[in-house]
């Protein structure tokens, strides 16, 4: 499987010609291009930096083969589209071509008591790569590659370190990093990485970079 990093929380995964896009939100400049070649789009929750409702509604209207998976709020926002939009919750499993996806977690990480805490699900793809959305939920399955959110109003470096230790992946790739400067991304990776608190190197691919998993 190959992973292409896009800006912020969005990635494309490709296996045997099947493409999945996770969290193409409004902060990802090439989200429309990524969605335009996807067989399925997976949305962890309905915050704007992960979910662009207008983009996905247009894509569903233009491409009858496209499927979208997300929380109930995502499904409600998009409508059914003849069953092509599916609400998923923790414990669900679905397949897209040769790719198997399991769903984990239930809630967005708390930001503040005065702010609502929406549903948030993470996706474990082919038992190999885990995208947690906006939560440090530890899935009840082994994870080889962890996509690690490192910036945002809910994140904290110490909690990120404990999260990596709990998941114990073979590989960590930094995502959700748009609120950090170049220096911030580098120092965060160093703090959490191989010589830091977790003992696991943190990869920092630039948007547009494709890596083999």
State phi, psi for 189 to the nearest 5 degrees.
Answer: -65, -40
Helix (H) or strand (E) holding 75: helix 72-78
Share above pLDDT 70 across residues of the chain, in percent, rounded to a whole number: 100
Band of pLDDT at residue 164, cut at 50, 70 and 90: very high
Task: Note the pLDDT of residue 110.
Answer: 97
Task: Note the pLDDT of residue 211.
Answer: 97
Q: Please state the rounded mean pLDDT for residues 165-174.
A: 98
Range of the domain at 17: 2-212
Total domains in the fold of the chain: 1
Distance CA 207, CA 22 (A): 14
Q: What is the pTM of this model?
A: 0.98
- Grouping H, G, I as helix, E, B as strand and the rest as coil, residue 70 is strand
Instruction: Assign residue 12 the CATH number of its domain.
Output: 3.60.15.10
Band of pLDDT at residue 21, cut at 50, 70 and 90: very high
Nearest residue to 66 via CA among 92, 44, 43: 43
Distance CA 23, CA 36 (A): 14
Give the tens place of pLDDT for each residue, 34-86.
999 999 999 999 999 999 999 999 999 999 999 999 999 999 999 989 999 99
Q: Please state the rounded mean pLDDT for residues 127-140.
A: 98
Structure token pair of residue 190: 């160093």
């Amino acid at each position: 499987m190959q992973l292409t990093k896009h800006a912020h929380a969005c990635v494309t995964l490709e296996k045997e010609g099947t493409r999945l896009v996770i969290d193409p939100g409004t902060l990802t400049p090439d989200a429309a291009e990524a969605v335009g070649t996807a067989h399925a789009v997976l949305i962890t929750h309905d915050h704007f930096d992960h979910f662009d409702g207008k983009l996905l509604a247009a894509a569903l209207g233009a491409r009858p083969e496209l499927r979208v998976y997300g929380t109930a709020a995502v499904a409600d926002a998009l409508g059914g589209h003849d069953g092509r939009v599916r609400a998923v919750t923790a414990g669900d499993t679905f397949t897209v071509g040769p790719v198997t996806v399991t769903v984990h977690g239930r809630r967005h990480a708390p930001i503040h008591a005065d702010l609502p805490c929406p549903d948030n699900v993470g996706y474990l793809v082919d038992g190999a790569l885990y995208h947690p959305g906006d939560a440090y939920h530890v899935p009840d399955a082994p994870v080889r590659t962890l996509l690690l959110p490192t910036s945002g109003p809910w994140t904290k470096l110490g909690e990120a370190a404990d999260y990596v230790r709990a998941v114990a992946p073979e590989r960590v790739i930094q995502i959700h990093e748009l609120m950090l400067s170049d220096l911030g991304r580098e120092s965060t990776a160093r703090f959490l990485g191989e010589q830091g608190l977790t003992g696991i190197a943190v990869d920092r691919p630039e948007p547009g970079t494709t890596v083999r998993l």
